[in-house]
Each structure stands twice: as structure tokens, then as C-alpha cells.
Amino acid sequence: MAESVNGILLIYNHPPWKSAPTILEHVNAFAAHSQFNVWAVNTLGGFPPALQSLRFRVIILHYSLFGYWPHLQLSDSFLRYLSECDSSYKIAFFQDEYQFCQQRFGFVNRYRIDSIYTLVEPELFDAVYGRYTGVQSLIYTIPGYVSDNLIERGRKLGKPDEARRIDIGYRGRQLDYSMGRGAQEKSEIGRIFLERSRGLDLALDIGMEESERIYGEGWYAFLADCRGILGVEAGVSIFDLEDRVRIGCERLLSENPGLSFDDVSRRLLSVWEGNIYYRTISPRHFEAASLGVCQILFEGKYSGILQPMEHYIPLKKDFSNFCDVIRLFRDKDVRRRLTGNAHRDLIASGAYSYKHFVEEFDRHLLDEGICPQTGPKETQRVTEAFAKGRIRFALRAFLKALRYYPYPGKDFITKPIKPFVKKYRDLRLNGRRGLFNRHAGGER
């Protein structure tokens, strides 16, 4: 008989080497700040046998599980476990919700998710989840918050203005056309800024290629070396509720691979632009604020947190005020005022700290009648159960993650088996699509 545990099981997916640090900061915040006991399980290590005999009062499904839709980072063992946990209060954190929506809605209904933390703004809850699912609780969130580690990095790595070698930096990338014009801003701001800055005697470090991405501690060191950083709102401008835009775009580009974004927009995308507002502040803005970097941002809402000429220099999306932006940026007093305001309001205030976020999360559980009453003996017993085989699970996670690591000779080793892996994944994916889609449409 399964044992009930009055605590939180947090299920996530993360490779055991450096990547975007925001994922683990989000995962670790719950154990660090919650008044509930939290046990975190990385699905990359497989399904822990101890789980089979445990039923947690609360289950959190972290957004890292859903980052590769339609390839859900939950094995069949985890999915069976979710089905068996009828009495658990299930919470899903979602990001990048704009594609594979019908499969996501089907998952929510199939596994009877009770609460969703979403980047969709409250006035649009009914148009998205209310229309397609039976979820009872929807809570607006942002992609990331301010961790203690980020504050410490700001203290250690922050430099005086004259010690920074780069005037303006940026890293972005080209995103799929099906995400709309908003997603194209992430590459356009860097490309056009470079073109307009020729001959201006500015030290620039701007890159939009995948090979130029910077991860882990290297990203913070890069920021600390910049006086200014470009930026846009996170999110997209097309929300593909019926899974029609992506499929139509793929078909159009397969027939006409040379089409530009403007071509595809005229033929297909324009009728979908702005159908569901899905833009938000991003962790990059908190990182820049912590490290004292002056932000030059496309005009936008930024979740109501960042204000133009209070926290950043606003750049019009048509670059019509480019000369004014450069003039303002060259003024050291302007940079000092904006970076000081951003640090005060985003970092020092604590209003956007992970501690504050988890306190609000705990309050939601308390409002649902869930109380943190786990005794020390129960806590120790569950912890010891998970500790069994942890070396084996860590090794399995490492070996599974090798598929994503660009080690020398990888293509030579993996190329012969790729067709077989793809065939296996497609078979599993088709089975899951049918399962999830049968439960989409609001049925609970």
C-alpha cells in the first residue's frame, strides 16, 4: 500500500552540465524558501523506485519538462505515476505555451492538473485554458525571479563603468517564423543596431548565431564587462491555439524554402498576429539590473515592471529615435541613474526575489487547505528512500544527457543510429498525441 507524504514532489529535467542557470535557480528556490518539505526528482536519471510506494500531497511539474514539446520529458513510468496519484494536488508550471497547445491542453485534462502557473496574463485566462481545459486555478507568473546567487554575482562581478571593455553587448537568435513578428525582434534588434552603429566609435559585442551563445558563469562575466545591453520582451506575438500556424508555416517553407519572414507574414501569418498577447519581462532584465548594466530596450510593457527612462532607454522598433538613444547612452550620468533605479527597484527591494515568489506560492497552498505538517521521522524516511541508488541515477542522467553534448566525434557515433531513434520517438509521440488529444477540450 502506498504511503501518503504531506510534502511536495517537484519533478524537473536538467542536464548535469552548464546551461541556462535560470532553470536550476527556479527548481532550487522551492526547497530553499518553502515552509513545506520539498523533494526534487530529475527525470533525466529515470524513475526512482522509491516513488512507486509514495503519494505526495502536492506534485509540481516544472516547466523544464515541457521545453521540448512534443517530446515531453516524462517517461511512461512517470506518466503512469501521475495517473495513479488521484489525491495529489497537481501544479504545472508552463513557459513557451504558444505552440503544441492542443497536446498541452490534452495533458492538463488527462492528468487532472489542478493549478497552472502561466505567462498568459489574467484577462486572457478564459481565452486559453478556460476554453480548452477544466483546470480550476490559474496563476500569473513571470519566467524567473531574483535569486540569492544572482545578488551575490552582482556584488562579486560588478565593475565600475571605466573598467568595462564593451560599450554595448547582446546575444540573440533567429526564431521560427511561426512565432510571429514579436519573435523576430530578438534577432532584428541586434542586426539593425549593428548596421546603424557603423562609424560611431562604440565597442560592440553583438551576436545572433547559435555558436555565439554564452552560458553559465560566462554569461555573467560577459554582462559585467558591458556598459550597456540590448533587449526585447520575452515571448511571441502569435499564440497557436489550434496548432494550425506552425503546420501551415512548415508546409509553406517546405514548398518555398527561400521565403523571407515578410513573405510568409503576407501569405499566412498576418491574420494571426497579436491573437493572444504573450509578452513578458525576462530573467535577462534582472541579470542586467544586478550587474549594473544600462539596458537599451525595444518599447514594450515588460510585465509592468520596467518603465522607460526610469529603468531603461527606450528604443523604438523602427529605430526612428536611434540617434537620441545613442546620445542618452553616451551620457554617463544617464547610465548611472538608470542602472541605480533598476538595481533599487528590481534587486534591492526584494519585490521580485525567489523568496517572495515562494512565499506567495505557499500562500496558495494554504488557501487550498494544504498545511505543512510533515514530521521529522517521515521527512527522514522519505529522504533516505530517495537516497538509495542516487549514484546510479546521477550516472544515468549523465549518460542520457550526452545526446545533447557536442563532444568530439559525436556525429560519427550518432549518425548511424539516428533513423532508428527517430522512428522510435515518432511511434511513442503518435501514441501520446492520441492519448492527450482524446482528453482535450475541457473534459475532466
- pLDDT tens per residue across span 42-72: 998 889 988 999 999 999 999 999 987 777 8
What b-and-e string marks burial along 292-322, b requiring 16 or more CB atoms within 10 Å of the CB? Answer: bbbbbbbebebbebbeeeebbbbbeeebeeb
> According to the model, what pLDDT value does residue 444 have?
40
Find all residues with CB under 8 Å of 197, minimum gap 6, and list them. 168, 204, 326
Q: How far is CA 185 from the centre of its chain?
A: 18
**What percent of the chain lies above the pLDDT cut of 70?**
86
On whether the CB atoms of residues 111 and 440 are closer than 8 A, the answer is no
How far apart, in Å, are the Cα atoms of 426 and each of 179, 413, 435? 24, 21, 14
Statement: residue 142 has pLDDT above 50: yes
Q: 177: which 3 cell numbers?
A: 517564423
Write out the three cell numbers for 188: 532584428
pLDDT of 277 higher than 70: yes
The residue among 439 and 182 whose pLDDT is bigger is: 182
Q: Is 323 helix (H, G, I), strand (E, B) or coil?
A: helix
Each residue of 216-242: pLDDT tens digit?
Answer: 889 999 999 999 999 999 999 999 999
> Residues 6 or more apart from 271 whose CB is under 8 A from it?
none
Q: Which three cell numbers stand for residue 20?
A: 541556462
Whether the Cβ atoms of residue 251 and residue 178 lie closer than 8 Å to each other: no
Judged by phi (left if over 0) then psi (alpha if -120 to 50, else beta), residue 276 lies in beta
Looking at residue 5, what DSSP letter applies?
E
- pLDDT at position 393: 59
Cell numbers 529603468 correspond to 311
Q: Which set of grid coordinates corresponds to residue 207?
A: 551576436
Extract the C-alpha cell encoding 131. 476554453
Task: Report the C-alpha gap between 129 and 101 in whole angstroms.
Answer: 10
C-alpha cell read off for 308: 522607460
Chain-centre distance of CA 371, in angstroms? 29
Bridge-based pairing of strands 234-236 and 278-280 is: antiparallel
Record the cell numbers describing residue 148, joined without a space.
540569492
Tens digits of residue pLDDT in 164-193: 999 999 999 999 999 999 999 999 999 999
Cell numbers 541586434 correspond to what residue?
190
For residue 398, CA distances in Å to 47, 106, 360, 389 come to: 15, 31, 34, 14
Whether a cis peptide bond, with omega within 30° of 0, leads into 70 is yes
Whether pLDDT at 408 is above 70: no
What is the separation, in whole angstroms, between the first and last Cα of the chain?
26
Q: Please give the residue that has the higher pLDDT: either 441 or 340.
A: 340
